[in-house]
Each structure stands twice: as structure tokens, then as C-alpha cells.
């Protein structure tokens, strides 16, 4: 099954984000799933593009959500890492998954 991983990135450093993501990938791949990359969790990309987002987009904070939804459109399921309920981004992704009948997997 094609699975996207979502995790809270607010108030986490790059290493913690990467470690959590890699752990999720390893668990899912061991179960035979294919990982669909969620561009929204790549913190370096968003840091580099932050100024561009401010200039181009009227609502730049929505851009990572758009990236996640794009990744979700290619997925059969979404894997929600620990503490996902603490993240507005993850809660919105969860609601979209519920509303569109996308399978949800919880850590």
C-alpha cells in the first residue's frame, strides 16, 4: 500500500524530525508498504523557500499543507506519528483523510 507519513514539526529540530520520519519509514517498509514522500516535512526546503512564499503567496503558511495534500492524493493511507493531534497541520490532514475515506494508520 502507498502510505504518506505525517508528523508534527512545530517546535522540533531537524534531527528529531528526520529521526521520527525514518523510524516511521522503516516500520512501514518492513510491513511491505511503499512510502509516498510528504514534501511538507522537509524543513530545509521550506526554510529556503520561506522568503519566496512571502512574496508569491498571499497565505504562505498554507503552502506546506498544500504540499501534504498533494502527497496525500497519491497515497492509499496516511500514517500519523506520535503527537499528531498537537499539530494543526496534522489535524487538518487527518480531517481530509477522514472526509475522503483515506485509510489512517496510527503510531
CB 24 within 8 A of CB 84: no
pLDDT tops 90 at residue 104:
yes
Tell me the percentage of the chain whose pLDDT exceeds 70.
Answer: 79
Higher pLDDT among residues 89 and 60, named by residue: 89
Angstrom distance (rounded) from CA 53 to CA 12:
21
Q: How far is CA 31 from the centre of its chain?
A: 20
pLDDT tops 70 at residue 8:
yes
CB 80 within 8 A of CB 105: yes
Record the cell numbers describing residue 91, joined without a space.
489535524
pLDDT tops 80 at residue 84:
yes
Q: Among residues 76, 82, 91, 78, which one has the least CA distance to residue 20?
A: 82
pLDDT band at residue 60 under the 50/70/90 scheme: low
Amino acid at each position: 500500500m502507498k502510505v504518506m507519513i505525517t508528523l508534527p514539526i512545530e517546535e522540533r529540530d531537524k534531527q528529531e524530525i528526520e529521526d521520527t520520519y525514518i523510524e516511521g519509514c522503516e516500520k512501514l517498509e518492513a510491513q511491505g508498504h511503499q512510502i509516498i514522500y510528504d514534501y511538507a516535512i522537509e524543513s530545509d526546503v521550506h526554510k529556503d523557500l520561506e522568503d519566496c512564499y512571502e512574496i508569491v503567496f498571499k497565505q504562505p503558511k498554507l503552502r506546506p499543507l498544500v504540499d501534504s495534500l498533494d502527497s496525500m492524493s497519491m497515497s492509499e493511507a496516511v500514517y500519523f506519528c506520535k503527537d499528531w493531534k498537537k499539530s494543526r497541520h496534522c489535524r487538518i490532514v487527518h480531517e481530509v483523510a477522514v472526509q475522503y475515506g483515506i485509510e489512517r494508520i496510527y503510531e
